[in-house]
Amino acid sequence: MNRRLTASAGGTPQPGRADLEQVMEKVAHGDKDAFSTLYDDLAPIVFGVVNRVVRDRAQSEEVAQEVMLEVWRQAARYRPEAGRVATWVTTIAHRRAVDRVRSAQAAADREHAQAVRDRSRPFDDVVERVETRLESEQVRRCLRGLTELQRQAVTLSYYRGLTYREVAETLRAPLPTIKTRMRDGLIRLRDCMGVTT
């Protein structure tokens, strides 16, 4: 069953419709000799259909082999009243060929998308690092514009995660004073950084 597919230049006469239907009936019952006959008659046609869609000889041979194996496995599903054997087989061939092209296109699209992501990532990382550095410098500059108590309170609260009470204890200052200084310091930071509410 694993024969190399080549389009015949034209010598052997093709069996008629009734003959192929009889051959297909035998194939449906597992007759390997009948399948061999069917293969010899239809494999070149299948290859031609597939090659017109896939446009790559090696892949076309592979797809055509898959089609002929599917015909062997699915032979019992063929119904003469639905059409000729050759039509049924070439329909399977065309469907498989289109699936292969779509699959190849989807793989190419995924690779392209990944390449675009990989290419843009270093630029995005650089931009992000620059923005972070600029923001950090702006925050440091704005912090320098606060009073010493405001700067200490804001730094302890936002960079060390201390609560108002813990900041008051650390700075040995009354809690209401710390709350006022932090509120005033945050307002000055907001104004310095140009944040609008």
Asked if residue 3 has pLDDT above 60, the reply is: no
Residue for token pair 């006959």: 37
Asked if residue 98 has pLDDT above 90, the reply is: yes
- CATH number, domain of 167, equals 1.10.10.10
Domain boundary among 62, 89, 108: 108
Token code pair at residue 137: 């410098």
Distance of CA 62 to the CA centre of its chain: 24
Q: Which of 15-24, 116-125, 151-160 has the lowest mean pLDDT?
A: 116-125
Q: Are 39 and 3 in contact (CB under 8 A)?
A: yes
Domain assignment present for 151: yes
Q: How confident is the model at residue 196 (pLDDT cuts 50, 70, 90)?
A: low
Residue 142's CB: how many other CB atoms inside 10 A?
19
Same domain assignment for residues 150 and 103? no
* CA–CA gap between residue 30 and residue 74 (Å, rounded): 11
* CA–CA gap between residue 35 and residue 12 (Å, rounded): 17
Which residue in 141, 138, 42 sits closest to 93, CA to CA? 42
Residues 97-121: what's their mean pLDDT?
Answer: 85
Same domain assignment for residues 94 and 156? no
Q: What is the pLDDT of residues 25-36, one digit of tens each?
A: 999 999 999 999
Tell me the chain's radius of gyration from C-alpha atoms: 38
Supply the DSSP string of 33-71, one letter for each residue: HHHHHHHHHHHHHHHHHHHHHH--HHHHHHHHHHHHHHH
Q: How confident is the model at residue 125 (pLDDT cuts 50, 70, 90)?
A: low
* CA–CA gap between residue 194 and residue 197 (Å, rounded): 10
Return the SS3 of 79. Answer: coil
Diameter over CA atoms, the chain: 106
Domain span including residue 168: 146-196
Structure confidence at residue 146 (pLDDT): 87
Q: What is the pLDDT of residues 66-77, one digit of tens each?
A: 999 999 999 999
Asked if residue 11 has pLDDT above 50, the reply is: no
Domain assignment present for 115: no
Structure confidence at residue 10 (pLDDT): 43
Highest mean pLDDT among 38-42, 115-119, 193-197: 38-42
22 to each of 27, 29, 71, 181, how far by Cα in Å?
Answer: 9, 11, 15, 97
Residues 140-151: what's their mean pLDDT?
Answer: 86
Domain assignment present for 11: no
Domain boundary among 92, 108, 124: 108
If you average pLDDT over every residue of the chain, what do you get?
85
Structural domain count, the chain: 2
- CATH number, domain of 60, equals 1.10.1740.10
Same domain assignment for residues 90 and 162? no
Same domain assignment for residues 161 and 104? no
Residues in CB range of 2: below 8 A, 6 or more apart: 65
Domain assignment present for 99: yes
Domain assignment present for 88: yes
Supply the DSSP string of 60-107, one letter for each residue: HHHHHHHHHHHHHHHGGG--GGG--HHHHHHHHHHHHHHHHHHHHHHH
Q: How confident is the model at residue 132 (pLDDT cuts 50, 70, 90)?
A: confident
